[in-house]
Amino acid sequence: MNINKKNIIIGIDPGLNNIGLSVIEFYHNKIFIILLKDIKLSNIKNIYLKLITIYLKIKKIIKLYNPTFLVIESIFLGKNVKTMRNLIQLQTTILLLFIYYNIPFIEYSPKTIKYIISGDGNCSKKKIKNILENILNKKLNYNKNYDYIDSLSIVICHIMIIKTKLKLKN
């Protein structure tokens, strides 16, 4: 990622009932929020209908914003095999779209995201939201069910990592 060129970064927090989505422009060390959105899937019970729904919605976002990069939260491995299978199918559906459009991507674990942003891999969503508000100098609507906060934190985490790598390189 070249910080001297305009970058459109999509952040995704995948979930079976709600997907957090953010579209961010990063240019000359400045961060601009283009879109913060939750895609609700809880009313769709069939996993295959969820997959096609998210496929169509993410495809539309890709075509509309022409992103240069995707950052996505990695899947937390739980004990429910059916849920894990469905989450893997969901994430694969999303990643295949980005592969098809030749858009590079990277995954970060929830602990890594929290640690990079706050210095504490176990901090609360509310604390992350407060830190994001300070970084962006912008008030964010907050509800513990707003997954777009998570998607935004994934993008900010990635930008912080890129900036640190550039500093170390110089």
The residue type of 103 is: I
pLDDT at 5: 82
Cα→Cα distances 18→1, 78, 133, 148, Å: 28, 17, 22, 9
Is 147 one of the catalytic residues?
yes
Is 38 one of the catalytic residues?
no
Catalytic pick among 13, 38, 107, 133: 13
Cα→Cα distances 158→42, 63, 78, 153, Å: 28, 22, 25, 9
Cα→Cα distances 155→10, 18, 22, Å: 7, 18, 8
pLDDT at 143: 66
Cα→Cα distances 53→3, 16, 18, Å: 33, 12, 12
pTM for the model: 0.92
Tens place of pLDDT per residue across the chain (170 aa):
666 789 999 999 999 999 999 999 998 889 999 999 999 999 999 999 999 999 999 999 999 999 999 999 998 777 789 989 999 999 999 999 999 999 999 999 999 999 999 999 999 888 999 999 999 998 887 666 678 999 999 999 999 998 888 778 76
Is 107 one of the catalytic residues?
no
pLDDT at 145: 65
Catalytic pick among 25, 38, 120, 147: 147
